[in-house]
């Protein structure tokens, strides 16, 4: 691990950046600052692909993709969807089965935890819907963070619909202590059938087995004919770790959780200090 260093990275060999959004590329308050936007624009001008790899939905990530001017495969929903943007073509989608989603609803009701799930649209990314049982503090937290509003109604009824194909992902919003208690219960109930990961201190994501940002990034790299040594992955949370095993180079902002800081080959300034922009400016010399 090299503090604020790009040691071991040949800038002439880099063809793509795999970038987490919240806590990494975005400054506190989920803001894409001008300094970072300019740095990403300079990378794009050099022919370097920008692949946003985020837990956000396609719709929630779109404002940042558009502002940065990035195009091509984007990894959304923590890898449950890989979407070619701006065309909106789904390159890969991996849904959570009904039994797991129903168990999570029952668990949330029993423990009085806020739980929500994304449902796929009938045609591509159009019509993807966030659903939850009822309005609660968790819904407001998520809405303020992402701008996405949930549709409220009995989740078990929605999961039981005849045309149900699976959920894109589920999400518990609660305290760490509660997550530490329910996470082992879900994993024990569905061994090998579910992937759980934290995307923030209060977000516990529930996805199909095999889904991860790493798997999504691997698919994006295949579409773009990228080699691992041509890709730098940058992220700050547990859900970013799978990217580090796929990309040839990894970096974490100083605000990252300890597990990620230890795994990253390079530590860059925090997201509040425009770490991604500073790192790119030093690496590529612009």
Confidence of residue 8 (pLDDT cuts 50, 70, 90): confident
Looking at residue 55, its pLDDT comes to 96
Confidence of residue 123 (pLDDT cuts 50, 70, 90): confident
- Residue 2 reports pLDDT greater than 70: no
**Multiple choice CATH, 2-93+212-284, 3.40.1260.10, 3.40.50.720, 3.90.1170.50, 3.40.50.1000:** 3.40.50.1000
The domain made up of 98-208 has a fold known as: 3.30.1240
H-only helix segments in 115-263: 137-146, 155-159, 176-189, 213-224, 241-244, 258-263
Sheet of 129-132, strand order: 151-152, 129-132, 114-119, 169-173, 203-208, 194-200
* Coil, strand or helix at 145: helix
- Residue 4 reports pLDDT greater than 80: no
**Phi, psi torsion values for 119, nearest 5 degrees:** -105, 140
CATH 3.40.50.1000 in the chain is located at 2-93+212-284
CATH 3.30.1240.10 in the chain is located at 98-208
What is the total residue count of the chain? 286
Looking at residue 25, its pLDDT comes to 98
- Residues sharing a CB contact under 8 Å with residue 96, sequence separation 6 or more, in sequence order: 80, 117, 166, 167, 168, 169, 170, 194, 206, 207, 208
176-233 pLDDT, tens digit per residue, is: 999 999 999 999 999 999 999 999 899 999 999 999 999 999 999 999 999 999 999 9
Between CA 229 and CA 175 the distance in angstroms is 38
State the pTM of this model: 0.94
Specify whether the CB–CB gap between 53 and 213 falls below 8 A.
yes
- Residue 1 reports pLDDT greater than 50: no
């Amino acid at each position: 691990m090299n503090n604020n260093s790009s040691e071991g990275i040949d800038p002439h060999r880099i063809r793509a950046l795999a970038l987490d959004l919240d806590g990494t590329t975005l400054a506190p308050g989920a803001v894409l600052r001008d300094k970072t936007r300019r740095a990403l624009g300079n990378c794009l001008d050099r022919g370097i692909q920008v692949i946003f790899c985020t837990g956000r939905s396609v719709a929630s990530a779109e404002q940042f993709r558009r502002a940065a001017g990035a195009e091509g495969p984007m990894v959304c929903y923590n890898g449950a969807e890989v979407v070619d943007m701006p065309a909106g073509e789904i390159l890969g989608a991996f849904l959570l089965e009904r039994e797991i989603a129903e168990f999570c609803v029952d668990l949330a009701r029993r423990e009085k935890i806020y739980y929500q799930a994304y449902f796929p649209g009938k045609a591509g990314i159009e019509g993807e819907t966030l659903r939850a049982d009822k309005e609660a503090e968790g819904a407001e937290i998520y809405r303020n963070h992402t701008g996405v509003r949930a549709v409220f109604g009995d989740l078990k009824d929605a999961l039981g619909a005849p045309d149900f194909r699976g959920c894109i992902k589920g999400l518990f919003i609660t305290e760490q202590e509660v997550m530490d208690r329910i996470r082992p219960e879900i994993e024990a109930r569905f061994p090998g059938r579910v992937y759980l990961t934290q995307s923030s201190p209060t977000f516990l994501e529930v996805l199909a087995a095999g889904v991860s940002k790493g798997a999504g990034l691997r698919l994006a790299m295949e579409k773009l004919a990228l080699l691992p040594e041509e890709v730098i992955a940058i992220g700050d949370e547990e859900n970013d770790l799978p990217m580090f095993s796929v990309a040839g180079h990894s970096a974490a902002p100083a605000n990252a959780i300890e597990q990620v800081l230890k795994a990253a080959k390079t530590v860059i300034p925090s997201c509040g200090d425009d770490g991604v922009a500073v790192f790119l400016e030093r690496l590529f010399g612009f």
